Structure 1
Amino acid sequence: RLERGDETATRILPSLYIGPRSSASASSFITSHGISHILSIGSTPSPQVPGVIYHRLSLTDSSSESINIRRVCQKAGEIIDAVGSARRGGNILVHCSAGISRSPTVVTAYLMTRHQMTLRDALGLIVGARPSTCPNPGFLAQLKDMEEEIFGKQTMKSIEQLPSVRAERVALF
């Protein structure tokens, strides 16, 4: 369920947006924000807008740690980097069904691996821009493991899952 105010995509970095599936088919949003690429994460592909390049990666939104996010996050990072290096001024929208769990998880991993941000800093940036962000507990556990591999520490060690109440989530960061 979308939380009020998060029905449209949100800019995270100058050329990177996160949002729900509905933003991926809103031609007015795509045009006004210079979206040249859309990356669907495990979501039913959106109706295509002419002139936009589409990518799709499969990822089930499940708390089970048997759902391995690493390969999807690695491939998503490659796609996001390729759009950024194209130097055509295009932007990318990463979306899932609601823009709450899967797409924020993938973008968090991208910020950790490609921008050397800790998990706390990456999630803080995303939650600050998009307060409905709430990776499921299985995804969060894997992000914590990734952080420990990258930085040798966990900045959110004691947190098993993000609070379900928006104000409490935002207050964490």
Structure 2
Amino acid sequence: MFMGVTMSWFLVLKSLHAVCIISHLSVSSAESYPCIQKLCSNEKCDPNPNMCASSKGCFSERQEFEDSGMNNALEQKGCSEDSCTDLAFSATLGKCRTFRYDRRCCYTKRCNKELIQVPPLSSEPNGVECPACYSERGSCRQVSLKCTGEETMCVNIIGRGIDTERIPH
């Protein structure tokens, strides 16, 4: 009798081991699906976007930089090489200069085909003030900036413009 119980547990453990291996293989072999792949500048895009294959997800992202009423937009769609994370934020860079960004992830066939819009900026002051300085020449005079909406942190960013040679015109 004792021997029969031991055999049963052995068979149960062997069966559980087989179930674990099969489950692992079915979960780790993710289905691949196509995503729209394109780059646009100021709403000018290639009329025939490419496709890419992904098992991590598709993404759509949009960046808008506004400077004294002039709006420059960059939109990109494609396949995520790593896990995709949604992210949206805005930054006021000084008087009449704003940057807005929105990245959305999705996980089905061609799910990134829709146009995305960055959320509008709030004009409601929130009580936070930050030192601000924006210059394309390397030096500027710092001013106090009254933050609005969800912009509640002061950050120091130093950057360079993008290479417009790779963007369709």
Is TM-score (shorter-chain normalized) higher than 0.5?
no
Q: Which has the larger radius of gyration?
A: 2
- TM-score of the superposed pair, with normalisation by structure 1: 0.21
Higher strand share: 2
Query: In proportion to residue count, which structure has more helix?
Result: 1
